[in-house]
Amino acid sequence: RTLLQAVGLPGAADWARCCDYWRMFYGDLLYRWHLPQQRAELLKFVSVPLAPDNALVFGVNCVECAQPVEPPAQHCPRCKAFAFKCAVCDVPVRGLSNFCVQCGHGGHMAHMAAWFQQHDRCPTGCTCECLKHDPAAIRVQIA
């Protein structure tokens, strides 16, 4: 019998489940407060994999040859180019990103947030007014 059991505290497995519950609960609050980056950082520490849901899933086509790139791949299977480049700096995006649900363009979260603090149209010049379609998607805290 462990010390935790002797004093009536949950065992290690129950404790991990309890911590995961609170992490997911707090992650839900962060999502509602439009803090996706902080939520993603928090959910890295959930020990039990999250159950798959029927959420929005988007596909990426290669910017060079338009070949579909299946997640989690980052390179095009045909031409080996990076699948997703930032519309602001033209550097491949490997971490957290933002994209417009209307035109599909996007990039690094910090670059997109900085761009839309001063502009209301897509940085690619496609004339899409990205902020009209989903202004919450661009809301990011820049440190």
Q: Summarize pLDDT for 103-112 with one digit per residue, the tens.
A: 888 889 889 8
CB distance 27 to 42 below 8 Å:
yes
CB atoms within 10 A of CB 138: 20
CB distance 83 to 60 below 8 Å:
yes
CB atoms within 10 A of CB 80: 10
Q: 30-55 pLDDT, tens per residue?
A: 988 888 888 888 888 888 666 665 55
End-to-end, the C-alpha distance of the chain in Å comes to 48
Per-residue pLDDT, averaged over 19-31, amounts to: 86
Whether the pTM exceeds 0.85: the reply is no
Strands (E), 4-118: 60-61, 68-69, 97-99, 106-108
